[in-house]
Amino acid sequence: MGERAGLFNHERCCGLAPATQWPMMDGMSELDFIRPDWPAPPGVRALTTTRAGGVSPPPYDSLNLGAHTGDAAACVAENRRRLALAADLPGAPVWLKQVHGTAVVAAHRATGVPEADGSVTDRRGLVCAILTADCLPVLLCDQDGTRVAALHAGWRGLVDGMLESGVAALGGPEGLMAWLGPAIGPDAFQVGAEVRQAFLARDEGAAPCFREDQEGRWRADLYALAARRLATVGVHAVYGGDHCTHTEAARFYSYRRDGETGRMATLIWLA
């Protein structure tokens, strides 16, 4: 009785529907989280979801967390409920309307679904969240465990200064470390010469982050590009960058690979 009461209270505080209205589906019963491998202090909690553990049908199968994808709203709501319970979230994540820009909001001031590509907080119990399906999710925290950020960085955001905006929103780089979550890898991310030139116009030293392919186009390394941008603003402790959403089809959504698809969530909060 006590265990069920605790579950009910968590559902109610997160604004979630009761678990009994959805069955556990074969092969989808367990959520598969990726936990950052970084020396964050104990009070920092973070994870990235994969596509496993939800109720969405193809092509969103199965833990689609994006409400803008064309998936049924009821499926997305149930997937978000499962995420909240499995990850023991302290409250509903601050979801964003991501527009490939550089705006960063304070999670404790956010209302509704802010139009931004990042959120930060120094308050405990507030969950910063972003959605991705090839773009780069970047988490930031400080060594004292007092401030965190979740940032959405596709190539446009990297060029325009998304990471710099996130560092500035946290008050500067002092004591910060970064984790680069699952994104499209350097062997799969094909771009045109105009994308390469946009980066080189900002940083000529970024040339090694691009490799010309047999089609006369370029393969871009988002992880390396992000690490360079972080270094320019004083964040040198950078971890992660060891997945490819495009090639790891069984585990990750990829917009480039599939077009119509779901979204993973990358979350961070202070416990």
191-221, pLDDT tens digit by residue?
999 999 999 999 999 999 999 999 999 999 9
Partners of 148 in the beta sheet? 121, 141
pLDDT for the residue numbered 45: 97
H/E stretch holding 163 reads: helix 162-169
**Structure-token pair, residue 200:** 């080189």
To which H or E segment does residue 123 belong?
Answer: none
SS3 assignment, position 48? strand
In 10 A of CB 234, how many CB atoms? 11
Q: Residue 79 above 90 pLDDT?
A: yes
CB 56 within 8 A of CB 62: yes
**Which amino acid does the sequence have at 236?**
H
Q: What is the C-alpha separation between 209 and 226, in angstroms, rounded? A: 10
At 27, the pLDDT band (50, 70, 90 cuts) reads very low
d(CA 124, CA 113): 20
What's the CATH number of domain 2-270, 3.60.140.10, 3.50.50.60, 2.60.40.2470, 2.60.40.420? 3.60.140.10
| Whether residue 20 has pLDDT greater than 70 | no
Q: What is the separation of C-alpha 46 from the centre of its chain, rounded to a whole number of angstroms?
A: 10
Average pLDDT along the chain: 90
- Structural contact between residues 139 and 270, judged by C-beta atoms closer than 8 angstroms: no
User: Which pLDDT belongs to residue 65?
Assistant: 98
Sign of CA dihedral 190, 192, 198, 203: positive
Supply the pLDDT for residue 25: 43
Q: Give residue 101's identity as a one-letter amino acid code.
A: G
Look at 69 and 6; give whichever has higher pLDDT: 69
How does residue 151 score in pLDDT terms, banded at 50, 70 and 90? Answer: very high
